[in-house]
Each structure stands twice: as C-alpha cells, then as structure tokens.
Amino acid sequence: MTGPSAPDRQSWISALRGRAARLRTALARRRIPVGKGLRGRIRTATARLRTAAARIPTRPPTRLPKAAAPRRTAAAPSLRHPAPRPWARACGLAVVAGLGAWLGLLVVGSVHTQVGPMETSMALRPDLTGGTRINVSPLGALELASHTAPLRLDVEVEQLDPARSSALVEHPERLSGLEDEVAADIVAGTTELALRSCAAVVSGATALGLAVYRRPRRALAAGGLALALLAASTAAAAATWNPRSVLEPRYSGLLTSAPSLIGNARSIVTEFDVYQQELARLVTNVTKLYDATSTLPAFRPDPGSIRVLHVSDLHLNPAAWHIIASLVTQYRIDVIVDSGDTMDHGSAAENAFLDPIRDLDAPYVWVRGNHDSRTTQAYLSRMKNVTVLDEGRAATVGGLRIAGTGDPQFTPDRSVAARGAPAERLAGIRLASAIRDQARAGTPVDLAVAHNPDAARETDGTVPLVLAGHLHRREVEVMRFGTRLKVEGSTGGGGLRAVQNEKPEKVRASVLYLDRTTKRLQAWDEITLGGLGLTTAEVGRHLPEENKPGAKPSPGPFAEPSSSAGPRPAADPVGKPSPGPSPAAPATPSRGPSGAARSAVP
C-alpha cells in the first residue's frame, strides 16, 4: 500500500502547524500558566510530526491521458522556442534571393555575340544607377545614361574580326548596310542575354536557398523571388529608357579624345555622309594596323619571357595611368619600371596623383627623379605593390634582380643650388659600386635604373641593361664596355609642358622582352601616341644586334671594366629609329634602319 501523495503530505503538515499555532495563541489569551514541561512536550510532538512526514514515501504525480493533454495552438506558441516574425523571414528570403541572383549573373550571366565586325560579350550587373557601359580595351570605355534601374548593361569589345573588317575595306559600299546589320546583331545578342539572365538568377537563387534553408520549398521560393526581381528591374529599365542618351556619352581612358576624332553624336546625325567617309577611313587604317603586325621582324617573343614596361616622366598627367593600365593588360606585363619624374613639384598635395598605382595589375618599381621629393618617395614606399630603389638598393621583382638610385638633385627647391652633371655622375658611381657588391655576394643584378642618363652611364660594364629618362626623348646606345643604355621619352607627354610647346609632346613607353633564364634583352617594342588629342598611334619592334640573323653570339657575363679593355661600338644603330608617318599620311608600314616595322593610325 502506498502512502499519501506529496500534495497530501504538505497539506497535512500545514494543518498540524496551524493547530499548534492556534493552541499557543489560545493559551496566551487565557493567560494559563504553562510550565516548561508542557511547552517542551508540544515542541517535541511537533518535531516528531515533521520527522514522520518526511519519512512518508512519495508517489509520482498521476499523468493525464494523451487525449486530455492540452494542445498547442497557433494562438499560444511555445515560450521556449518562439516562432520568428513574418517580416524577418521575408527579409531573409529577399537577401538570399538577391545574393543568389547576383552570383548567378556573375558566373553564367554573360553571352558572346558578334556585333558588326567586332567580337563582344554582354552581361547584366547589379548597379544602383543603371545605364550602359561599353568597354573598348585598351582604349577605354564610354558610359550611357540609357535607363534607371538596379541593373547595368556591360558590353565588352574583345577584338576586331579581321575578315569582316577587310571585307568592309575592300567594299566600302557595304557601310550603308552596316547599320541594319549591327541593329540585328544587337537584338539577337540582347535576346540571348535576357534568356540566359533569367536562367542564371533562378539557378543561383535556388542553389543558394537550398544551401541556406535546406528545404526545397524555401529554395524554390527564393528562385521565384529572384525572377520577380529581375522582371521588375527590366520593367523599370523599359519605363525609363532614354534613346537620346547616345547623344551625350561619357568617355574614359583614351576614348576621351573620341569627340575630337570623329565628332560628337549630334554632328554625326546632321552630317552622316561626312561621318560615313571618316568611318570608312578609320576602319581602313585600323585594319592596316592589324596587317602591319604581320610585317614585323621574324622574332617572336618566347611566351615564357619576362615582359617589362618602361615608363618615365609622367609629370602629373592623369591620362598616363589609363595608358599604362591598358598596356599592362594588352602585353601581359610582369613588372613596371618607372625611371622617375612622376611629379612636377614634389609637394604633399600632389601625392593623390599616385593612388592609381595601387590598381595596376603588375608590381611597380620606382626611382626618384629631379622633380620627385623625399615626401613623394615616402608616400610611394607605403604602397604594397611598389618597390622604391635608392642608393644602389637591389630587389628581386617579377623574376629580375633590379638595382637603382634616385636623382641626387631636387630642382624645384630653389633654396638649394643645382650641382649639375658632377652630382649625377657621383650618384652613378655609387650605383655601380653597389652593383659590384651584389655580384661579389652571389646575387648579380640583371637591370639597373637611374633617372638621369649621366648617372646611368657610370654603370657601364657592371650590368647588361640600364634604364633612364629625364630627356623626354628616346635614346638607345651600347656603351664602351657592353652595357646597353635605354633612355625613355615622356609617358606623360611632358605633363603641363605639353601646352607650352608649339606642338604637343608625344606619349612614349616601351615593352622590353627579357629571356627568363639568361635575363638578356631579346627585343623591345616602342609605343608612341600623339600628344593632346592622341590622334596617332605607332608601334615599332626592335632587335638587339646579337639577335639579328647572322649576328655573333651574345657576350658572356659582365665583368668589372679594366684599363686594358678595348673600345666597343659607341652606339647601336637600333637606337635611332626613323620617324613614323605624319598624321596626314596614309597608314602604311615603313621600316627604320633596324628593320623594325612601324605603323600609324590617324
């Protein structure tokens, strides 16, 4: 037989306590004297009752049958696991759908299509302001305010189809039908892009929803929401479509000169006949430029060669960064070498001009010019992709061991008298000494850099190749002890000096091809652009004498010059290329004394 349950036991003890309390109260009211014996007995009896109640076995509470258990309704949710609020779930689903749609467009949302004589790729990208962006690498880009929607249309012009371009050159009358052909190509491309974009956003949002929620219904809901967002964005673009946006494009890169080359859109509409003739001439010249590449010297750079872009004397010209970025992409540059005079006055206020260096896709090696201050040098030293060389310091960048020194003179500082050529030669002697120390340490230098040619000439016999600038013109010579000195022109077109001269100064840069094993110069391309307006483009391929057919093998490793060494040729004729054709001349390739083919595009 089981004892009373726990609730019964508690009620029993409470009743006993109540009776004892009432007994003490009655005795106190009646003032009946109670001896210690009576109180002691009462306390003893109370204690025994407590002990007996504690020994009574407990019985588990009876459970109600399942049918009588209270049901949890939607109106009374569980307090331990509260249900999420509807708006929070909706926001989470919207975020998953938007992110999945963006990933889908990024991965599989682009199409390749032919538009006239050009190979292009089209893609939709999320953007708060919308519009259309047309990239023409390496010339730059133009932007159109074509619509206002959270989607931007990106069109990338990848290359020019030589066959179709040649057909337009041989039959200029086909230009009259080029407009209809281009319109049909654009319609076909955009239709394919729309279908692919729908599939991309649905697939991306569904896949991300399945990964996040692990429920097919939620994943399908995310895919449907992404499709609805795409449809709403497309409707917004159609409602805000502005066909007149083509009349007011915004240019960047080299295309900033496009209005001066072919006229603005309004003049094209009003003078279409003249524009058609200019377009035919432009297509002809561009095609001839492509054809000119086949007449370059027989040398083909080894795909594994080290490609160095040599720039100098930017002098605060912001267009130089667009040109450098384009050349880095087009020529797959491994390392950029800047031989100084990047600034004009070297002040701290000019430092922001250097910020685009961070976005270049190649390491940047820099030496100080006579227009660059120590403040400029300190600012560049803090950039991760920049290596600053000074006082003969050497570093391995892009597979090459490069040593350099900054210009010892800062000419904008009028409080210090310029020391001229002697100071430059002394800096060159220190550079040559540092290069010899590197060779004795077992780390020979492959390439030296100095701003002033007077300093660079002091490295003769210690290094195969030395680069310089400062003169704003190109010079190439093989010095007495075998070192080749290459002086680059102004990659910034002289900077502010371009507006002071009677004729604009040209923009110059060079691409050097070096053997990855021997680190010797195999060939170099000289790129020359017109000055303000950039109306011409010239490319010249040059070979060292030892790489020409029938030439003697290249000399062995460089040693320290001695007094017994015999004289060597003072200059390499490759350093004196013939001038390119004038802007008004037809763009036909010509050959300079070195056999380098040159071509110009008016």
**DSSP-derived secondary structure for 255-308:** GGGHHHHH--HHHHHHTHHHHHHHHHHHHHHHHHHHHHGGGS-S----TTSEEE
- Helix 36-55 / helix 6-30 crossing angle, nearest 10 deg: 170
Question: 137-167 b/e with 16+ CB inside 10 Å = b?
Answer: ebbbbbbbbbbebbbbbbbbbeebeeebbbe
Which of 221, 102, 224 is CA-nearest to residue 212?
Answer: 221
CA distance 602 to 226: 48
Per-residue pLDDT, 319: 80
287-335 confidence digits (pLDDT tens) = 444 444 444 455 566 777 899 999 999 988 888 898 898 889 888 899 9
State the SS3 of 153-208: EEEEEEEECHHHHHHHHHCHHHHHHHHHHHHHHHHHHHHHHHHHHHHHHHHHHHHH
414 phi/psi in degrees, rounded to 5: -75, -10
For residues 197, 202, 206, 207, the Cα torsion angle rounded to the nearest 10 degrees is: -20
Per-residue pLDDT, 65: 54
Lowest mean pLDDT among 183-187, 418-422, 525-529: 183-187
370 phi/psi in degrees, rounded to 5: -75, -10
Average pLDDT for 365-387: 95
485-519 confidence digits (pLDDT tens) = 999 999 988 775 555 555 667 889 999 999 999 99
Per-residue pLDDT, 205: 87
Per-residue pLDDT, 477: 94
Does residue 566 have a pLDDT over 50? no
CA distance 409 to 422: 11
**What's the sign of the alpha-carbon dihedral 188, 192, 195, 197?**
negative
CB-CB neighbours of 118 under 10 Å: 18
CA 501 to chain centre: 35
**What's the sign of the alpha-carbon dihedral 250, 255, 256, 257?**
negative
229-245 confidence digits (pLDDT tens) = 888 888 888 888 877 66
Neighbour-count burial of 309, counting CB atoms closer than 10 A to its CB (0-12 exposed, 13-18 middle, 19+ buried): buried
Per-residue pLDDT, 578: 36
CA distance 535 to 518: 39
Which of 491, 478, 452, 481 is CA-nearest to residue 559?
Answer: 481
Determine the residue type at 350.
E
CB-CB neighbours of 567 under 10 Å: 7
Per-residue pLDDT, 309: 96
pLDDT band, residue 200 (cuts 50/70/90): confident
CA distance 173 to 476: 46
Task: Judge contact between 476 and 496, C-beta under 8 A.
Answer: no
**Mean pLDDT over each residue of the chain, to the nearest integer:** 74
74-117 confidence digits (pLDDT tens) = 444 444 555 557 778 888 888 888 888 888 888 877 888 877 77
Per-residue pLDDT, 157: 77
Per-residue pLDDT, 82: 56
147-176 confidence digits (pLDDT tens) = 888 888 888 877 666 666 666 656 655 555
Does residue 36 have a pLDDT over 90? no
Does residue 138 have a pLDDT over 80? no
Q: Rounded to a whole number, what is the largest CA-CA distance in the chain?
A: 143
Per-residue pLDDT, 480: 93
Per-residue pLDDT, 7: 65
Average pLDDT for 546-553: 64
Per-residue pLDDT, 395: 96
Q: Which residues contact 451 (CB under 8 A, 6 or more apart)?
A: 312, 339, 340, 341, 367, 368, 369, 370, 406, 407, 468, 469, 470
Which of 274, 281, 295 is CA-nearest to residue 169?
Answer: 281
CA distance 591 to 343: 35
pLDDT band, residue 357 (cuts 50/70/90): very high
Look up tokens 């390496």; give the residue: 138
254-294 confidence digits (pLDDT tens) = 555 444 444 444 444 455 455 445 444 544 454 444 444 44
pLDDT band, residue 121 (cuts 50/70/90): confident
- With H, G, I as helix, E, B as strand and everything else as coil, classify residue 85: coil
Task: Judge contact between 431 and 417, C-beta under 8 A.
Answer: no
Q: How far apart are the first and last CA of the chain?
A: 115
387-428 confidence digits (pLDDT tens) = 999 999 999 999 999 999 999 999 887 777 778 899 999 999
pLDDT band, residue 602 (cuts 50/70/90): very low
Per-residue pLDDT, 573: 37
